[in-house]
Amino acid sequence: MINLGIIGNGFVGSAVAHGFSLCANIRIFDKNEKLSTHSFDDVVKNSEFIVVSVPTPSNEKTGIIDLSILDSVMEEISSIIPPDSVVIIKSTAIPGTTDNYMEKYPQMNIVFNPEFLSERTAKMDFMNPSRIVLGGAPRPRGRVEKLYKTRFPFTQFILTDAKTAEFIKYMCNCFYAVKISAFNEFHQLAQKLDICWPASMNGILGSGWVNPMHTQVPGTDGDFGFGGKCFPKDMSAFIRCFEENDINPLLMKAALEKNMEVRQNLNWLHIEGAITTEDNDE
């Protein structure tokens, strides 16, 4: 069987381990010893594929993505990785991040492979992917595709460059967040005008043109708007990416503002790996 290593055993890393448990020898390292099965060196030196799924929080004040944890892991891996092994980055990262690693560590095979999981249903989502996105150079990307096809032979593959794969991840998460804010705003007016919300939802969803995901108000957590580990931090980081490229992301900024208006539980402020308060000025 294939030797598969995982660095970071959160909801993404644990979903990967669960998904490949029947067709790979799994080694896991996490900074929490209770979540590890092997040491960092053992995972890297004895794995053909090394999945990196560590936090990439955004700064609470600036929105800038904090890549320090991912940077540190990639630095450590680079010094001990076997020449033929492939690093699979699953940590959400701003477009251009993986290219920077490829330039810094030309001896490493690196592929960016975003994950599209809900934290509540991560293992089930991983086992039932709608598509698998792989970004990188053709040779290592092809090897990762072959790995996935041993487990998911009939799934759609989107093969592209790393920067595009990184962009796809942010585009998905930020669109979902904007969609949630839009439906929360619709709900506010419906409440104000004493309009039947269930009938309104049947009216818009009945056409089949609008996917019902991310339209529930309140959400599955019983609160309005969006929270959790991913959407708030990814919105902030992507907004900052737009601004750094001289584009004013009016729609996303308005969606984030609406979320702060309707959301009661700002739980991402207290979730490890979602937000950092440390200075990370450019």
- Classify residue 46 as exposed, middle or buried by CB count within 10 Å of its CB (0-12, 13-18, 19+): middle
CB 6 within 8 A of CB 84: no
The two tokens of residue 266 are 């700002």
Q: Helix or strand or coil: residue 52?
A: strand
First to last CA, the chain: 44
The pLDDT of residue 62 is 81
3 strand-pairing partners: 25
Task: Name residues of the chain where pLDDT drops below 70.
Answer: 268-282
The pLDDT of residue 268 is 67
List all residues 6 or more positions away from 126 whose beta carbon is below 8 Å from its beta carbon.
Answer: 15, 16, 18, 19, 115, 117
Euclidean distance between CA atoms 86 and 97, whole angstroms: 17
Euclidean distance between CA atoms 145 and 143, whole angstroms: 5
CB 268 within 8 A of CB 232: yes
- Structural domains of the chain, with CATH: 2-167 (3.40.50.720), 173-276 (1.10.1040.10)
Residue of 113, 115, 90 whose CA lies nearest to 161:
113
Query: What's the whole-model pTM score?
Result: 0.91
The pLDDT of residue 266 is 79
Q: What are the tens digits of pLDDT across the range 38-69?
A: 999 999 999 999 999 999 988 877 878 999 99
- Classify residue 241 as exposed, middle or buried by CB count within 10 Å of its CB (0-12, 13-18, 19+): buried
Torsion sign over Cα 215, 216, 217, 218: negative
CB 34 within 8 A of CB 77: no
Q: What are the tens digits of pLDDT across the range 238-273?
A: 999 999 999 999 999 999 999 999 988 777 666 665
Amino acid in position 266: L
Residue of 41, 131, 148, 153 whose CA lies nearest to 88:
148
